[in-house]
A = this chain, B = another copy of it.
């Protein structure tokens, strides 16, 4: 049953085709604007002697360079960096940028990545010199603003997590995971226990098992039940006193909130293990349900997901962690200490696991996420999660009501949280196009495709996360596009199999790239 108007339903502007009266002439020399530009690297541009940099004058008496740095320690030939004027430099990278799709240009429902709007206010405040040119070793007295900001952010994150202590230090989600597992190790070792295993569900993100290995534990997989939650029996069977930790994402990467979370926590705690919350999906539950209240001991946040740090094409991010009282003594150092109205960094933490990285973490990300929290407040954060879940369920329903469901059925459950997983298996069987083909064809419609082939336990998985900052019209249009690809494939599956057609490059030879890696420009 559709309650929205037909224009929205059928009038996807993204595919309203204009039949040009003059196509690019056959045999003509000019391809589509981006395709006609062959990729040329910066090392292939410029000319000997060109430069964008003007060195400051040597304003001190010149000493003998050989005296200051003997030849034996000196470089013989300068690195062959580009030689290029500023205008060329600008054009090169501006034109490269045009070969990227981005969130400010279109819908980006990449599941598990929370591609929500990145407010520009955050870039403005992060660029204030008082933040941007603050040296990390500036004395506490001279960095009170930064320490106060971090303190406030810690409080806010702790409140969202429902856990009292926060360290902002880790650099990303996976770094937070590493911190969390090392905290678990320190906790157990401090109690004289040596544990060897960490449990991860088969829906877990790859960083979870990879982290476990790095921290010196063995990975033990836990199964998934028919509702998409943890197989509690399997968990019970595997939870013994060798187990240090269960790492869980909740809602998990299927978009399913685990109905048995309380029981799971009990089982894990009963054997003395910690319960670790992979916060990549926190965007579903802010202000609605708190990991601490669910029984989690350690939580990481991806500030670049729920808290709007722009993804930057693969970072930067930040992965703060929140922990319970019993984990607190082991937190990375330094910790921020408040004394009256003043703040300082405390390095004197004898039980600390130490440091995961230099200085105080990715402060620039803290500024952005803190600004976001200031903008939204308690109500706004809750609204964000509610709307994220609403949008996901709406898109799911739209797809269902466009009769997409028999080709792309929901993998688990009926409703979802902030994201959902469809299986492309029937589509592959009936139409002969794979999830990858669907994804590539969506590129021609101007969309970033959902996450594909993850989570692993769903055949031909398509993981869709619209986020709260998208409009209903966008969701409608996307649903129509998916339906259109399926419809088109009924007539001619080759269209999708050979897609995309309109992108700067088309399908790339990834196998060849891996077989004969060319990972730098030969000069």
Residues of A within 8 A of B (CB): 13-18, 20, 22-25, 28-38, 40, 45, 47, 54, 85-88, 90-91, 94-95, 98, 104-106, 117, 119-120, 375, 444-446, 469-473, 484, 488, 492, 495, 498, 501-503, 506
A495 to B98, Cβ gap below 8 A? no
CA of A29 to CA of B445 in the docked complex: distance in angstroms?
Answer: 9
- Closest residue on chain B to residue A497 by CB atoms: B22
Q: Is the pair B32, A32 in contact by a Cβ cutoff of 8 Å?
A: yes
A91 touches B120 (CB 8 A): no
- For the complex, what is the distance from the CA of A119 to the CA of B446, rounded to whole Å? 32
Contact between chains at A87 and B470 (CB < 8 Å):
yes
Is there an interface contact between B37 and A34, defined as CB atoms closer than 8 Å?
A: no
- Closest chain B CB from A54 CB (angstroms): 8
Q: Check A33 against B32 for contact (C-beta < 8 Å).
A: yes
Residue of B nearest to A101 (CB): B33
A444 to B375, CA, bound (A): 45
Q: Which B residue sits closest to A13, measured CB to CB?
A: B38
Minimum C-beta distance from A314 to chain B (A): 20
**Residue in B14, B25, B37, B47 whose CB lies within 8 Å of A14:** B37
Chain B residues, Cβ within 8 Å of A34? 33
Asked whether, in the complex, the Cβ of A13 is within 8 Å of the Cβ of B40, the reply is yes
Report whether A24 and B501 are in contact in the complex, using a CB–CB cutoff of 8 Å.
yes
* Shortest beta-carbon distance from A472 to chain B in Å: 8
B31 and A18: CB pair below 8 A? yes
Q: How far apart sit A106 and B117, CA to CA, in the bound complex (Å)?
A: 30
Chain B residues with CB below 8 A from A36, complex form: 14-18, 446, 502
Are A87 and B501 also in contact (CB < 8 A) when A33-B34, A35-B20, A495-B28 are? no
Query: Shortest beta-carbon distance, A387 to chain B, in Å?
Result: 11
A30 contacts B95, C-beta separation under 8 Å: no
State the CA gap A484–B502 with chains docked (Å): 25
Least CB distance, A305 to chain B, in whole angstroms? 16
Known: A24-B501, A85-B471, A498-B22. A30 touches B444 (CB 8 A): yes
How far apart are A471's CB and chain B's nearest CB, in angstroms? Answer: 6
Which B residues touch A119, using CB under 8 A? 86
- When distances are taken between beta carbons in the complex, the residues of chain B under 8 Å from A91 are 104-106
- Minimum distance in angstroms from A460 CB to a CB of chain B: 23
A158 to chain B, nearest CB (A): 26
Task: Give the residue of B20, B29, B106, B375 whose beta carbon is less than 8 angstroms from that of A484.
Answer: B29
Q: Do A38 and B15 touch across chains, with their CB atoms under 8 A apart?
A: no
Give the nearest-CB partner of A492 in chain B.
B25
Return chain B residues, CB-CB under 8 Å to A13.
Answer: 37-38, 40
- A446 to B30: give the CA distance in the assembly, Å: 9
**Chain B neighbourhood of A98, CB < 8 A:** 98, 105
- Across the interface, name the chain B residue whose C-beta is closest to A107: B91
Q: How far is the CA of A468 from the CA of B375 in the complex (A)?
A: 46
A492 to B13, CA, bound (A): 35
Q: A14-B37, A15-B30 are in contact. List 7 more A-B contacts (CB 8 A).
A: A25-B501, A29-B484, A30-B445, A33-B446, A33-B502, A37-B446, A47-B471
| In the bound complex, CA of A94 to CA of B503 (Å) | 18
Nearest Cβ in chain B — how far from A93, in angstroms? 9
Report Cα–Cα, A120/B94, bound state, in Å.
Answer: 13
Q: Which residues of chain B are near A117, meaning CB under 8 Å?
A: 86-87, 90
Chain B CB within 10 Å — which of A15, A32, A37, A54 has the most? Answer: A32
- A18-B35 contact given A105-B91, A106-B91, A117-B87, CB 8 Å threshold: yes
